[in-house]
Amino acid sequence: MKPERNYLIHPSYIVMFLVLAAVSALFLGFSAAYLYNRLHSNIPPIKLPSLFYFNTLILIGSSMTLRWAKKSYLQDNTQNYKIALIITLILTIGFLGSQIMAWLQLYNSDIFINYNNMASYMYLISGIHFVHVIAGIPFLVMFVINAVRKIKSPLSVLIYFSDLAKKRRLNLFNIYWHYLDGLWIYLVLFFLVNWLIG
């Protein structure tokens, strides 16, 4: 294993924060465009399907299990680490399936993507978030596969949990995942407040 260079802030963290800053700017831009169109065109907002709220709970649950995975990693608790990662993956797949059902709720209410500008923005904004969740799944799957395959004997446990690169990747993934969770909560509250103030 090659010795790592010492950084005040590792370049991976800088890249991650730049990516998240760009994503934040994208969603703030869409939020501003939504408000501008709504006020300028005087179009009433769309009521959120109930599954959007349920999906919020699923994402919060996945953030909690990922925190549990990180805590288990730091405590060298192999069993809990594996379980937490697997539950996080299951919850994530559940979120994706439930979000598709939420869009079907809109569709069955005759609210299509071209229904009006507000519906278009709702589909677009929630769809882009959906894509960002999908983008995280390969990394989550790799964590699960590595945990199951490489954590078997006491020696493999020692090597796995002492690998600074793995610890950093887990930290980076936690940052990304908690960010997506916070972003989803913001989006749900944004659409809800717009609906309430009508």
Q: Which residues contact 12 (CB under 8 A, 6 or more apart)?
A: 168, 172
* pLDDT tens, position by position, 130-176: 999 999 999 999 999 999 888 877 777 788 888 888 999 999 999 99
What's the token pair of residue 72? 């288990």
Residue 8, pLDDT score: 76
The more confident residue out of 153 and 196 is 196
CA angle 55, 66, 96 (to 5 degrees): 30
Residue 4, pLDDT score: 57
Residue 73, pLDDT score: 93
- How confident is residue 5, by pLDDT bands cut at 50, 70 and 90? low
Q: Is the pLDDT of residue 3 over 60?
A: no
Residue 53, pLDDT score: 96
Contact 170, 176 (CB under 8 A): no
DSSP state of 8: S
The dihedral formed by the CA atoms of 164, 160, 171 and 18, expressed in degrees to the nearest 10 = 60
- Determine which of 26-30, 73-77, 80-84 has the lowest per-residue pLDDT on average: 73-77
Residue 94, pLDDT score: 97
CA separation for the pair 88, 65 (Å, rounded) = 6
* pLDDT tens, position by position, 7-40: 778 899 999 999 999 999 999 999 999 999 988 8
